[in-house]
Structure 1
Amino acid sequence: MGTPLTGTVIITGGNGLLGSEIAIEIAKKQPFVHLLLTARDIRMDDVRDLTGKIRLIGARSIEVLALDLTDLKSVASFAKSTVNRVRFRDIPPVTSLIHSAVATSYTVDDLTSDGYDPVYQTNCLSPFLLTIGLLEAFRAGDGTPKGGAKVINIGCSATSSGRLDYFDRDHGRHGRHLGDTLSAKEENIRFGSSKLMASVALYALRRSLIWTGNISLDIFTLDPGGMTGASNLRTGAPMSVRVAHQTRSGLRPFLRMVSRSSMNKASVPAKAIARVAFQIDTAENLQKERYYILDTDYEAASVLSSLRDSEQVKTLLLQMMRQVEVETKEVESPGPIRPRLSMIAPPIAL
């Protein structure tokens, strides 16, 4: 009898610069996990090339599924399908969810069909919905530090320029019109705001889940540092930015001074992410809010000052729960865990 699969690892943006390297690294070190990669278009050549490369490495099980993060119905449907597959043992429980997909744009884009800025929806709202929608799939673990699941949100230095209220007024357009070009500074604020909101909202969700005590799930942000390599993330980037050809990620200035090289090939942070995703944590560590710079952890509030304001954190959690509430009703399960506003958002323990 062959060795059974030990868990499912979901990587959004699995065909991207970082996502593909994470998948390759996990395939090398963890051949008995089920790799479930997502891509907006699974027909692309890079998807076929990546799956072929991973199969040659010797991974036991891999699949690539379509997921459109600019469509909340697509996210809810993917989550519901995955939960059902875990429930019926088509795939093992989800042990790691890695939010690697990311979008940025230097133009004022049309709103998504759900009515949101596509940068905000891709980088923040959809990852939040996907995490909630998969709660039952995480819950299938054994509840021990070894069996608990992890949600890794890929962060970046641009959060230091972000604002939690950036998308509140006029969807973040601030008087601009569709098609207008944004300066590098404005794009940095827009992108940084979407990533900041994602990090804070996911930490808020973590606090709320600890308060309910219903699920063993660790959620944290990991900053991979700056990466070199080809990337198709940008829309309408000025020539000066395209020439630089670097991903929009990096260490905060005060941490960059004491950390390893801030510019690496994507394979370097991928190795760190793979280590963190499979390290066994003590019960004491699971009580802490951690923010990783590569595979070194820091106290999250020391990096994200917004986490120190409990009312602001709670307000953001409630706001995002309202934005995804219609979709979460579509992924409810008959068990005691239901991804609903009443379950996720009790008074948050700090």
Structure 2
Amino acid sequence: MSPAKGTIVVTGANGGLGSAISKQIAQSTELSEHHGVFIVRNSQTATTLNGILAKAKPNFNHDVVSIDLSSLASVRAGAKTINTRVANGSLPPIRALILSAGWQELETQTFTDDGYDMTFQVNYLSHFLLVLLLLQSLDKENGRIVIVSGMNHDTTDKRMDGTGIYKEEKWQTLYTTTEALAKGTWSTPADDPSSKSGQRRYGAAHLLEVMFMRELQKRLNADPVLSKIGVLGLDPGAMPTDICRREGFLIRVIAMKVIMPLFAPISDMTQTNGFLRTTSKSASDALRLAFDTETLGEHPKDVFVNGTEPWPVSKEAQSEKNLETLWKDSLVYAKVEEGETALVNWK
């Protein structure tokens, strides 16, 4: 068996989008020549992913790694396992790191054992930490990091008008302070008992992901070793997944399991990057960001797309002050210490 071309790491690999990405990797003749590392919360209960891997290409090498993104300790332990294997040569360098894991709760609000809002930590902070820890294992010549965000990171995006979640002026600025989002004091169920409170926190977490994309790329560009690594962001559209599994019957079953699965394929056929998309379409878009060189070039950097279309990031994500503040605050919340990351200008 020939050596793998590189490693592809996918977070949320048992989820709706993550499992679709994993399926395309495992069943693609070209992509299956890489070594897959699929990150899930618990490998013993990742039934969707395990079913996909059972049908993978015969020579596809892969591992399933358990990392609970609601625990910074779990992130550190999982990253150490991957880094050790890349260092000893049992895994090739990471060619693509795809961050597709997500958490959404609409009318409830939970907190992690680390003391942070669950939406903040799972969607953003743990990914922030994971990336910094894994930079030492990235392919220094062709490595790419793909961050899955969303249209809801921008309160002025016209596609969000129909949702009404940002209609009131007080909700039109998502990033006030990092602390408000980390400690979950912004848009709480007490402020608004409807599902909109959780939707706003989810949108704010997506904004932090876009801000992270931009600030990380700036710091990588100035790094003497890591400057060729590209960071890219994806708006995958609205997809029928289980991300709303904590919600009521109408959303969890009727919307996500009946209506959206029926209309998403139609949307894909009639629109290039419609509001509603299948997970298969968005998985292809994520993998395009990770590997395409014909349309994106050899070393694409700080690129955000809506499906396949270049898309502007929000004004909040364009603020250099915001980017710098979030970065420094995140180092504190993630408890990043000297020697934990290969990034030279990490502070």
TM-score for the superposition, normalised by structure 2: 0.81
Distance in 2 of aligned mates of 1:288 and 1:35? 23
Letter of the 1:169 counterpart = A
Q: Which runs of 5 or more residues in structure 1 are unaligned?
A: 248-256, 346-350
User: What displacement does 1:191 show?
Assistant: 0.5
**Correspondent of 1:277 among 268, 287, 290:** 290
Distance in 1 of aligned mates of 2:217 and 2:176? 21
User: What displacement does 1:13 show?
Assistant: 0.8
Task: Tell me if structure 1 keeps the 8 A contact 2:124–2:205.
Answer: yes
Matches within 5 A, 1:163-182: 163-165=174-176, 168-169=179-180, 171-174=183-186, 182=193
Task: Tell me if structure 2 keeps the 8 A contact 1:105–1:187.
Answer: yes
Partner of 1:98, secondary structure, is: strand
Distance in 2 of aligned mates of 1:88 and 1:42? 23
Residue 34 in structure 1 maps to residue 35 in structure 2: yes
Partner of 1:245, secondary structure, is: helix
Task: Tell me if structure 2 keeps the 8 A contact 1:166–1:172.
Answer: no
Change (3 A) 1:289 1:167: closer
Residue 318 in structure 1 maps to residue 320 in structure 2: no
Letter of the 1:135 counterpart = L
Matches within 5 A, 1:67-106: 67-106=67-106
Q: CA-to-partner distance for each residue in 1:301-340, whole Å, 9 max, x for gaps?
A: x2222232211211111111122234x55x73xxxx635x
Letter of the 1:47 counterpart = L
Task: Tell me if structure 1 keeps the 8 A contact 2:119–2:202.
Answer: yes
Change (3 A) 1:15 1:174: closer
Counterpart in 1 of 2:206?
195
Counterpart in 1 of 2:54?
52
Letter of the 1:260 counterpart = N
Task: Tell me if structure 2 keeps the 8 A contact 1:70–1:118.
Answer: yes
**Correspondent of 2:237 among 219, 225, 240:** 225
Counterpart in 2 of 1:64?
64
Q: CA-to-partner distance for each residue in 1:166-213, whole Å, 9 max, x for gaps?
A: 6623822359579x9842221111100011112202321111121233
Task: Tell me if structure 1 keeps the 8 A contact 2:213–2:302.
Answer: no
Distance in 1 of aligned mates of 2:98 and 2:245? 23
Task: Tell me if structure 2 keeps the 8 A contact 1:166–1:193.
Answer: no
Matches within 5 A, 1:86-165: 86-138=86-138, 141=139, 143=140, 147-161=141-155, 163-165=174-176
Counterpart in 1 of 2:19?
20
User: What displacement does 1:154 show?
Assistant: 0.7
What's the C-alpha RMSD, in Å, of the aligned pairs? 2.8
User: What displacement does 1:111 show?
Assistant: 2.1
User: What displacement does 1:12 show?
Assistant: 0.4
Distance in 2 of aligned mates of 1:281 and 1:316? 34
Task: Tell me if structure 1 keeps the 8 A contact 2:232–2:301.
Answer: no
Change (3 A) 1:285 1:196: farther
Task: Tell me if structure 2 keeps the 8 A contact 1:13–1:101.
Answer: yes
Q: Which runs of 5 or more residues in structure 2 are unaligned?
A: 156-172, 261-269
How many positions carry a matched residue from both structures? 313
Distance in 2 of aligned mates of 1:344 and 1:74? 21
Distance in 2 of aligned mates of 1:207 and 1:281? 24
Counterpart in 2 of 1:204?
215
User: What displacement does 1:132 show?
Assistant: 0.2
Q: Identity of aligned pairs, percent? A: 24
Change (3 A) 1:116 1:295: same
Residue 292 in structure 1 maps to residue 305 in structure 2: yes
Q: CA-to-partner distance for each residue in 1:210-240, whole Å, 9 max, x for gaps?
A: 1233302111211112223x41x23642343
Residue 261 in structure 1 maps to residue 260 in structure 2: no
Task: Tell me if structure 2 keeps the 8 A contact 1:38–1:67.
Answer: yes
Distance in 2 of aligned mates of 1:94 and 1:88? 14
Change (3 A) 1:119 1:62: same
Change (3 A) 1:183 1:37: same
User: What displacement does 1:119 show?
Assistant: 0.9
